[in-house]
C-alpha cells in the first residue's frame, strides 16, 4: 500500500492541489487528445488503422488525465506506460514486415517491462529519458518520419514541456502552461503520424 502513496518524481508549473482534480488546467488540456481521436476517425472513416490510433489517443488521454487528477508515482507510471504503448505500436508498424510479428511483440513487451522496472528503480527523469530512446527507435525504424510535421510538433511540444518543468515558462495563474502546450502539440503530432501511416498503408501492409 505504501507504493500506492509514493509521490510523483516530477513537479510541474501547475502545482498539484488537494482538490478532486489535482491539476485542473493540465487536466482540461488532455481533451486535445480526444479531439484528435475524433478527427482521426472522421478522416479514416472508421478504418482499422484509424480505430487503432484513436484508441491509443484515448488511452493516452485517460492515463494523462488520471495523472493530473491524482498526482502520485502510480499515475505517473500509467501516464508513461500509455506513451510507451503508443511508441511501440509505431515501432511494430515499422518492423512488422521485417521481423516475425510474434517475436517482435514478445521483444517489445520485454522492453516495456524493463523500462517500467527501470523507472521504479531509478525514479527521477528516467521515464522521460526512456521516451527519448523510444522516439529515436521509431525514427530509426522509419527514417521518412524525420521530415514529417509530426516530428516538428513533437519537438516544439517537448521544448514547452522542458520550459514548464524547469519553471522557465511558468505562470500558475493562467490556464495555458508548458504541459498544456505539450498536450495540444503532441495531439497534433499524433494526427500527422496517423496521416503518414494512412498514406503508407499498402507499403506497410496493415
Q: For residue 202, is pLDDT > 60? A: no
DSSP 8-state secondary structure symbol assigned to residue 135: H
Shortest CA distance to 169 belongs to which of 180, 181, 160? 160
In a domain? residue 68:
yes
Per the CB < 8 A criterion, the answer to whether 60 and 34 are in contact is no
| In a domain? residue 15 | no
* Contact of 95 with 104, CB cutoff 8 Å: yes
Asked if 23 and 71 count as a contact pair (C-beta separation under 8 A), the reply is yes
125, part of any domain: yes
In a domain, 5, yes or no: no
Q: Is residue 8 part of a domain?
A: no
Per-residue pLDDT of 108-163, as tens digits, reads 999 999 999 999 999 999 999 999 999 999 999 999 999 999 999 999 999 999 99
Average pLDDT of the chain? 93
Q: What pLDDT, on a 0 to 100 scale, did the predictor assign at position 47?
A: 92
Q: Look at residue 19 in the predicted model and tell me its pLDDT.
A: 87
In a domain, 134, yes or no: yes
Closest CA to 141 of 165, 108, 112: 108
Indicate if the alpha-carbon torsion angle 174, 31, 56, 77 is positive or negative: positive
98: containing domain: 21-204
Condensed to tens digits (0 to 9), the pLDDT of residues 179-199 reads 999 999 999 999 999 999 999
Question: What total of structural domains would you count in the chain?
Answer: 1
**For residue 27, is it within any domain?**
yes
pTM (two decimals)? 0.94
Does residue 10 lie within any of the structural domains? no
Amino acid at each position: 500500500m505504501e507504493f500506492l502513496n509514493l509521490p510523483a518524481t516530477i513537479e510541474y508549473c501547475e502545482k498539484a492541489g488537494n482538490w478532486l482534480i489535482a491539476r485542473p488546467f493540465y487536466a482540461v488540456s488532455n481533451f486535445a487528445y480526444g479531439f484528435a481521436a475524433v478527427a482521426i476517425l472522421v478522416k479514416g472513416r472508421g478504418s482499422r488503422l484509424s480505430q487503432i490510433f484513436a484508441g491509443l489517443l484515448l488511452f493516452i488521454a485517460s492515463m494523462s488525465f488520471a495523472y493530473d487528477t491524482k498526482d502520485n508515482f502510480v499515475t505517473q507510471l500509467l501516464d508513461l506506460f500509455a506513451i510507451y504503448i503508443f511508441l511501440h505500436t509505431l515501432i511494430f508498424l515499422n518492423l512488422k514486415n521485417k521481423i516475425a510479428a510474434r517475436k517482435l511483440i514478445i521483444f517489445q513487451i520485454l522492453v516495456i517491462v524493463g523500462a517500467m522496472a527501470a523507472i521504479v528503480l531509478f525514479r527521477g527523469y528516467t521515464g522521460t529519458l526512456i521516451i527519448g530512446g523510444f522516439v529515436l527507435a521509431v525514427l530509426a525504424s522509419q527514417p521518412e518520419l524525420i521530415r514529417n510535421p509530426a516530428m516538428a510538433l513533437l519537438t516544439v511540444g517537448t521544448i514547452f514541456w522542458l520550459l514548464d518543468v524547469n519553471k522557465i515558462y511558468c505562470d500558475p495563474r493562467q490556464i495555458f502552461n508548458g504541459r498544456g502546450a505539450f498536450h495540444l502539440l503532441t495531439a497534433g503530432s499524433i494526427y500527422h503520424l496517423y496521416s503518414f501511416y494512412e498514406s503508407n498503408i499498402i507499403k506497410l501492409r496493415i
